[in-house]
Structure 1
Amino acid sequence: MSEPEIDALVFDVLGTLVDEPTGIRAGIRQLAPAIGDSKVEELVALWQRHVGREQQRVLDSDRTYLASDLLDLEAARLVAEAAGVDDPGAVAELALSGRRLPPWPDTVAGLARLAERSPLIGLSNASRTALLGLNAHAGLRWHQALSAEDARSYKPDPAVYRLAVAVSGRPPERLLMVAAHAWDLRAAQALGLRTAYVARPVGDPPVASDRFDLYADDLAGLAARLGA
């Protein structure tokens, strides 16, 4: 498949550029150092299930929009309770784990290389405040970072992708959505954006019926495909 002609790259953040489970795992270990590895993994899954479920409830209009940092606080309370920790200060600190996510090894250099070719737009389900913390902690380089909070919704709501289209000033087909989640790319594709899947250990891999414009093992591979 030939490389698409594009004017800007739009990046998912959570999972695509930063390792969300590792950051949450570190926060849980700080909260309760004595718990074993298997319990830690259970608590990471509990956190992620809660956030995913509540975001879906917002999309289904079963719940009024709540920004991601508040959903993280809810998740932190559930995790602390399951770990047997009853300390509001410790819970508040744990909630910040959602902003202290390490970048994947290729992320920082890959973004810098791609930024030499095209404007880079971050498009995240993280709230504005959480996204600021994420960008600073992981050292992410953007020309523009957009939060789903501005649409008062969550991906895959089309309203979130329209934020990137609006700020770019370009038609959707001139934007390339980059993500490690096939569900994210499908939603962008439905709105007319071009799509690039980047493989990550925690992503949502494509299925046989998916037809994305580009596939890459990492950001270096994506940059090579795009001639960056």
Structure 2
Amino acid sequence: MAPSNGSRLLLAMALCIGAVALSSCSQAEPIPEPTPEPSSQKLVSLDSDQLQRKLADFTSSDKNAVVLSDQQLRSTIPKAQEWLESIKVNPSKCGVTFAQPVADQLKNATMAAVEFEGRHLTVAIYKDEQLLRKHWETKNAANEQCSRYSVTANGERRAYHLAEQALDSDADHDEASVSTSSNGKSTQQQLVVSSSNSNVLIGLQQSTTPSQTKQQIQAAQSTINELLKTLK
């Protein structure tokens, strides 16, 4: 059985913040600790209710947008973790890694998500800016090593390939890729974007095609820039 909508959004959040990552590798060598750097930006401080309201205002022009609160996302953790533990990834070094259970990983951030028609947006506000920087550097190091892998779930095997894309938002760091998956009968493509700025991490994911990707990246860039202003 595939994960529910809420669980899928939680998985997207986990992927974004590096708690779990289908495209990441278990570390053969330790990743160096990031050197603390003084931030010139004011940290964003919002509780779950404030973040939910901010996102509701931000998406108010889209009648199909549904905002999921921190509490709603966390309620799906058991099912999301159960599904993640049921799949098989090859090579295994590029599979799901659990340094801690998902709930323990996600407790370090206040999160919310927005489900649009055909795409979704996730936001995590970290209590500790340095922890976000560490997660970002770890995830990037892993992604460099694992751009091809396969996932078997419920007896179906899908092969994945990640192709890096150019993205330059107002955030401190950006990452974008097109994930192409195939089961031998059908092929799907997803545009996956993540940006970190100070203690804020933003993720965007949607279906894409070669003819749509460039325009979608530009739209994602604009969304990130506007959202960063909204969260201040």
After TM superposition, is the score higher than 0.5?
no
Higher helix share: 1
Which protein has the larger Cα radius of gyration, Structure 1 or Structure 2?
Answer: 1
TM-score, normalisation: structure 2 = 0.27
